[in-house]
Amino acid sequence: MTQLQTATLGGGCFWCTEAVFQQIRGVLKVESGYSGGSVPNPTYEQICTGRTGHAEVVRLSFDPTIIGYRELLEIFFTIHDPTTLNRQGNDTGTQYRSVIYFHDEQQKTIAREVIKAMALVWDGPIVTELTQAPIFYIAEDYHQNYFRQHPDQGYCSIVVAPKVAKARKLFAGKLAG
Ligand code: MHO
């Protein structure tokens, strides 16, 4: 059996990144959670203050024989803005920072390369943080599968749905079932 790999990425509100990566073939599990802060087992209310230092992240379990880490990062960089420090659209605070938490040296090398390539695509400097993956704290149950459960909720239809639509269009050849 293939050895699954893990990727941990923060690209703003995890309802968005979760919904996009759930579309991608080879991504077998997507979990929303918090990483990179100072308080153990933080709650959503705590991380929302922006003062615990956690980023909203998704942890992906993927099959590298179906989708590579580089491809995942390419998707990541088209569904969030890596040039706005601690902000995605109207969501502001350190919890919305752009961050790649690498799990091994190979991921770190690939991430560096992709960040370099993205600098040619985006106008402003890329502010994406690149750090070794810290502890991942899974978010509350009601945050898992959020977009699937609440497609008509205001934020989901205004912010999440367009990102999902964009990813489905751009990565039509990489969609799950
Ligand atoms: N501004 C959004 C972000 C949600 S996200 C899980 C809201 O507060 O509903 O951070």
- pLDDT tens for 28-49 read 999 999 999 999 999 999 999 9
- C-alpha of residue 13 to centroid of ligand 1, in Å: 6
Residue 15 Cβ inside 6 Å of ligand 1? The answer reads yes
pLDDT at 2: 83
In tens, the pLDDT along 54-105 reads: 999 999 999 999 999 999 999 999 999 999 999 999 999 999 999 999 999 9
Tell me the percentage of the chain whose pLDDT exceeds 70. 100
Active site residue 13: yes
Name the token pair of 80. 């969030």
Q: Which of 13, 16, 48, 156 is catalytic?
A: 13
Give the number of the atom of ligand 1 that is nearest the alpha carbon of residue 143: 6
What ranges do the domains of the chain cover?
Answer: 5-174
pTM to 2 decimal places: 0.97
Give the number of the atom of ligand 1 that is nearest the alpha carbon of residue 32: 6
Tell me the percentage of the chain whose pLDDT exceeds 90. 98
- Residue 96 to residue 86: CA distance in whole angstroms: 5
Q: H helices of 23-159, where? A: 44-48, 69-78, 105-121, 146-149, 154-155
Residue nearest to atom 6 of ligand 1 (CA): 13
Spatial CA neighbour of 91 closest among 159, 176, 161: 159
Residue 62 bridge partners (DSSP): 5, 27
- Residue 125 to residue 54: CA distance in whole angstroms: 23
What fold, for 5-174? Answer: Peptide Methionine Sulfoxide Reductase; Chain A (3.30.1060)
